[in-house]
Amino acid sequence: MERGLIQQMKRLVGVMILTVIVLGALSANSPVISQITLQGRMPEDQYFRIEVSTEAENVNLTEARGSVVPVGRYQIFSNVGNARFKIEIRPGEDGSGTRFKLSLAPGTPHAPNLETEIPFTAGFAPYNEVRGNVEGTTIVSRSVGSRSPGEIGVQESGEIYAKIDNFDPNRFATGTYSAAIQFTVVTD
């Protein structure tokens, strides 16, 4: 009986040694990956993004007089042929305002002789261009397309900003002012 047990133990040890040898040989000859192919598709061929700047949410207007306040950032992308777009900024929430202006919050008490609207200039500029090329007090627009003949697609990123006039703060009511602008992109 003891002899049978010893025989079984020898066979078990032999199988274990054989298994270790086979596994060792397999791991020593594992295949080397020399090329990986990644395939995919672009789900969108055109998009437009806009981000509102947190700096524009709580501006001290007295300190901002005569300076530029970042309002947001935009990005436009198209890999469609000779795509062309028209970007516009208009005053007012629905784009029907007559001029860009900051207005005192409705219902804010103030002396009758104080002004409640602060005019400003709105503009936008691609990051690779100087501010001031596309700005105004009413409608601001520009066309965006391929930069050179034979180039396919459009890609542009830039800044949206407001230039606050250098106003006399003593002429204006104290309180919270806000402005609405409409930023649109259409195919040109």
pLDDT computed for residue 13 by the predictor: 45
List the chain domain ranges.
46-187
Smallest Cα–Cα separation from 125: which of 94, 162, 178, 166? Answer: 162
Q: Buried b / exposed e across 88-106, counting CB within 10 Å, b at 16+?
A: ebbbeeeeebeebbbebee
In the predicted model, what is the mean pLDDT of residues 49-68?
Answer: 86
Asked if the 46-187 domain carries CATH number 2.60.40, the reply is yes
In the predicted model, what is the mean pLDDT of residues 125-137?
Answer: 83
For residue 97, pLDDT over 80 is answered with: yes
In the predicted model, what is the mean pLDDT of residues 17-36?
Answer: 47
CA 185 to chain centre: 15
